Structure 1
Amino acid sequence: MAPWVSDPHSGGINIPTRLKEPIKQRILAYAAKHYAGKYNRIDVRFRGKFCYIDAYLESEVPAKNFNEEVYGCTWEERIEFLRSIPTHLCRLRYSGDAEKWAMAFYTYSNDKYEPCVFNNGTFKGTPEEAFESSAMYLQ
């Protein structure tokens, strides 16, 4: 008989309402302190057992040689459109401990979240550690 093994990337429980705002504020404070100027805004949202962290970045579209006919809009409209597209940083899974979350990166190649480890080398970490681990997308 095989020993029971816990998979941090399955299961989970719904995030209690009382935790949502404090967790969101922790993530936003960490982002502001360590990554100010690397994003336009950070969006933290909750759904069931998951906490999603997205960043909205400044887009770089050279005005020189911009072809309005190709894009069907002005250069300014194109910039505004690109600013409205989120960069998915990570998804956290809650299992009952506000200091030990599982994390998954969004893989654009597969169009889904894939389990990953934190920079600390484990499958569990804090919301701040999750932001730090996924901040490579802000470089």
Structure 2
Amino acid sequence: MTTAWIKDPHFGGVKIPKRIQESVKTRITSYAEAHYAGKYTRIEVRFRGHFCYIDAYIEPFVPHEYDPLKCGEMKEEFIERLRNTPLHLCRLRYKGDEEQWSMAFYTYSHNAYEPSVFDHGGFFGTPEEAFQTSAVYLDE
């Protein structure tokens, strides 16, 4: 009987070095500016251990008939709160190769990151491909 090792895209990882953090942040924000300008107010890229998190901030939709009595806060407070609430897009897992990350898509139905594939159907891809895949939230 032989043992086969499988590289699990959603397990393990390597702490992301500072130089790669800076490079990836620039790559993601540049890609967002080039392809999704006007669909967000700002992009936030943050790192923790072997993870890279991508969040977007958008201008909130406020109904014309907004009623502060029903909503429990003034319209201006509501708008400011939503402007400062991140729209979680995805989490990338670094495995040691700057061009091959795994991705977990943020699902609002479970309020959690769920392992995902990229638009091209593979388990590994670039930070730009991860942004493109998860930017579905920006197209609403």
TM-score strictly above 0.5: yes
Show the counterpart of 1:72: 72
Q: Which aligned runs of 4 or more in structure 1 are off by greater than 6 angstroms?
A: none
Structure 1 residue 73, shift from structure 2 partner: 2.5
Q: Which moved more, 1:66-75 or 1:88-97?
A: 66-75
CA distance in 1, matches of 2:89, 2:25: 14
Show the counterpart of 1:115: 115
Structure 1 residue 70, shift from structure 2 partner: 2.1
Q: Does 1:50 align with 2:58?
A: no
Residue by residue, what CA displacement relative to the aligned partner does 1:47-89 show, whole Å, maximum 9, x if unpaired? Answer: 00000000111111123x2212222332122111111111110
Structure 2 counterpart SS, 1:46: strand
Structure 1 residue 95, shift from structure 2 partner: 0.3
Q: Percent identity?
A: 59
CA distance in 1, matches of 2:5, 2:88: 33
Show the counterpart of 1:3: 4
Letter in 2 for 1:37: G
Show the counterpart of 2:23: 22
CA distance in 2, matches of 1:124, 1:38: 26
Show the counterpart of 1:132: 132
Structure 1 residue 101, shift from structure 2 partner: 0.2
CA distance in 1, matches of 2:72, 2:32: 35
- Matched residue pairs, number? 138
Give the aligned CA root-mean-square deviation in angstroms: 1.0
In structure 2, runs of 5+ residues without a counterpart are none
Show the counterpart of 1:84: 84
Letter in 1 for 2:81: F
In structure 1, runs of 5+ residues without a counterpart are none
